[in-house]
Amino acid sequence: MNIPPALATRDDWYQFSTRDGLLVRVRPEEEGDTPYLVDLFNRLSADSRYLRFSKSMVDPDPERVRAEAERLAHLGPPQEMAWLAFADLPDQYNAPVGGVRYGMNGPDSAELAISVRDDLQRRGIGSELLKFACAQARQQGIRTLTALFRSENKAIWALVRHSPFPATTVVNGSEISLTIDLSGDPA
């Protein structure tokens, strides 16, 4: 796989350890991250892709995946903020393990998206990325984070329970609308 090495000496890394001791490093997404985004996408199962994107992606066209990753890697402030999470795994140094982003959808509101590769879920990575994104959004004056997800997405339900700020959900058929209120004190 042709993934460019990240700079291990960067000053803008945010670091945390998972419940089982895996050190995860988070940095802002930047141009040139297309291979990392493709790798992360490829490590999501068809079920995870369906739950994340609300459409079947059993065998997506690799060129379309690359083109979308390239588009995402070129988005940026002030409308879109994104970070990638990396860890040193037994089979891969500096492997992309997750990502979090939010895009402005109002003057003080943004839509949130979090992804964690399948083999590293249920270790606290998503919860920590949620806390990180909430802190970053609040620092930028964002008062609410919103998200839409499928009602059968058990991982997101668990993530909502770990929200550092009050979260409300509204059921609309098979979709759930989530709103995280960043204007008050953390829970």
**C-alpha distance from residue 141 to each of 29, 79, 114, 168 (Å):** 20, 13, 20, 20
Domains of the chain plus CATH, in order, are 14-181 (3.40.630.30)
Asked if the model's pLDDT at residue 128 lies above 90, the reply is: yes
Average pLDDT over residues 16-39: 91
The confidence band for 181, taking pLDDT boundaries of 50, 70 and 90, is: very high
Q: What's the pLDDT score for residue 162?
A: 84
Per-residue pLDDT for 176 more than 60? yes
Q: How much is the pLDDT for 4? A: 34
**Per-residue pLDDT tens digits for 68-100:** 666 666 565 556 788 999 999 998 899 999 999
Could you tell me which residue, 145 or 9, shows the higher pLDDT?
145
Give the per-residue pLDDT at 47: 80
Across the range 31-49, mean pLDDT stands at 85
DSSP-assigned letter for residue 6: P
Beta-bridge mates of residue 87: 24, 95
Q: Mean pLDDT for the chain? A: 82
- Spatial distance between the Cα atoms of 146 and 168, rounded to a whole number of angstroms: 10
pLDDT over 90 (residue 180) = yes
Predicted confidence band of residue 42 (pLDDT cuts 50, 70, 90): confident
d(CA 1, CA 36): 10
pLDDT at residue 129 tops 80 = yes
- Write down the pTM of the prediction: 0.83
